[in-house]
Amino acid sequence: MELLLKIKNAEGLHARPAGILAKKAAEFQSNIQISVGGQVKSAKSIMALMSLGLKKDQEFKLIIDGPDADNASRILAELVNNEFKA
């Protein structure tokens, strides 16, 4: 399953939102990756997420594969769309 999402918060995917996203992604059994500009990284790693340098309004794909992919996609999309506010 692939989701096309956009960074909405002004600061982009810096340490705090990357940590929130990685922590939430780690709660799922599914393999969850983030893809942008030809790079594919684990969404469960704060360092991998920060290394992508995502800025406000930049689009990226979440690639989710596993037993709880539907639930993970819904919750993670909501998290991104709500600017990482839990």
> Does residue 14 have an active-site annotation?
yes
Query: Distances from the Cα of 20 to the Cαs of 37, 38, 77, in angstroms?
Result: 22, 23, 13
Check 3, 5, 14, 61 and give the catalytic one: 14
The DSSP element (H or E) to which 42 belongs, if any, is strand 39-42
Q: Which residues are catalytic?
A: 14
